[in-house]
Structures are given as structure tokens and as C-alpha cells.
Homo-oligomer: A and B are copies of this chain.
Amino acid sequence: MPYMQVALAVDLVVLTIREHRLCVLLVERGIEPYEGLAALPGGFVLPGEDLADAAYRELAEETGIGDGIHLEQLATYGAPGRDPRGRTVSVAWLALAPQMAEPVAGSDASGAHWIPVDDVNGEALAFDHGLILKDGVERARAKLEYTPLGAAFCPPEFTVAHLRAVYEAVWGHPLDPRNFHRKVTRAPGFLCPTGRVTTTADGGRPAQLFTRGDMDVLNPPIVRG
């Protein structure tokens, strides 16, 4: 093989909603470089392993799950000095996860935690992970507008109010419940009615339960206001 050889890694921007806030999964680095600093989960790609497979493997290692999680390629970062050990190129992936059990199960990192993205100081992250996180959050915010990906933050069955809470958390401002309801329920293929309703309506009318539909482009989009 001619020319330069580089190390190949994947890094993950795993987002979820916790307590009405958009949160990202961060791990504490257990080894140099940047030992002790917060970083995005990730690792090196194995020989013979496809990029997407590496991303799924790291996701499973760090979160214990992976089934039903939306994963898409975000961008690739390869500036010459981004890793002090030598030239390393990282293919970053964006993962949208439904709410899950408090601590991260099956993690092999020193510690993995959900941190509200607004509380993260990008400068304090290892490598160029602050930049990667910023790009990932912006991608997620944009995708809510013109795709049904908000539902990826919800459990398999969810209500319109649950979905609206996702939008409000990601965009950071409230939406009109009535107009939102009409918009998403009338968008063909966005939501599949299950026929069931919530039983635990604490002080309100029970809500219909939906599953994710098969639509992939939302036209017209839901606007960010």
C-alpha cells in the first residue's frame, strides 16, 4: 500500500432525553491521553470490521443495548494534530436513544454518564470531541424538523405528549400542544395508532398510544419557531 497509514476510530454522539433535557452520553477516560477527562464513547475499528458495525459494537459496549436505536453517520474528523499519539481519523456517528435505565449497563469505560448538553463545556472534552458534539446536536435539532426521528427518542409505544416533550427538550422551547397534536397525527406514516391508551393518566384524559410509522421524510416539516 502506498502513502500514509492512519489509525481508524469511531466516536459516538449518543443523545437521549432525561428529565425534559437533551443529554449526551460521556465517559471518563481511563487512559492517556486526556486521562480523567470526559470524552465521547468510542474506540478503534477492528480489522475486517465495517464502520457501521464498529459503531454498533461500541454502542453496545458502552450502553449495554443497541437494538432499536437509531444510528447514522455524522461526519469524519481527521485534522493532523487531533490525537497526540499519531495521525488518527475518527468517523463520528449520531445515535438517538429512548430513555433508559439510570446508570449505563455493561459499560467497559471507567464511568459513563448522561450529561445535559447545555451543561457540557466543549472545551473541557478530550480530543476534538467538543466540536463533534456540537455538530451532532445541531444535526439532531435539524433532523427533528424534516424527519420523524423525534420518535427515536421515545420508547416503542408512546403518546403525542411524550413526543412533544422530545421536541421541546431538543429545541429548548415550548410548543402548542393542540397544534402539535394535529400536525403529527395528520402527517401520514408518522405515527401508527395501536388502539391502546395510557392507563396511568394522573389527572387527565388517557392518551392514545402510538408506535413509529414508516415515513422517512416529513413534508411539510415541523418548524422550529
Interface set of A (CB-CB < 8 Å, partner B): 1-8, 44-51, 73, 75-80, 85-89, 91, 146, 219, 221, 223
Contact = CB atoms under 8 A, between A and B. Distances in A.
Nearest 6 pairs between A and B by C-beta?
A: A5-B5, A3-B44, A76-B76, A51-B78, A1-B86, A6-B8
Contact of A4 (B2, B7, B50, B76): B7
A12 to B, nearest CB: 15
A48 B4 CA distance: 10
A79 B52 CA distance: 9
A223 B146 CA distance: 13
B8 A2 contact: no
Contacts of A91: 76, 78, 89
Chain A contact residues: over half helix, strand or loop, or mixed?
A: loop
Contacts of A1: 7, 85-86, 88
Contacts of A86: 1
A87 B51 contact: no
Contacts of A8: 3-6, 78, 89
Nearest to A8: B6
B2 A44 contact: yes
Contacts of A45: 3-4, 6, 78
Contacts of A73: 75-76
Contacts of A77: 51
A5 B6 CA distance: 5
Contacts of A50: 78-80
A102 to B, nearest CB: 32
A206 B25 CA distance: 58
A128 B193 CA distance: 40
Nearest to A86: B1
A139 to B, nearest CB: 12
Given A3-B7, A5-B8, A47-B87, 17 more contacts: A1-B7, A1-B88, A3-B44, A3-B45, A3-B46, A4-B45, A5-B5, A5-B6, A6-B8, A50-B79, A51-B76, A51-B77, A51-B79, A51-B89, A76-B91, A89-B89, A89-B91
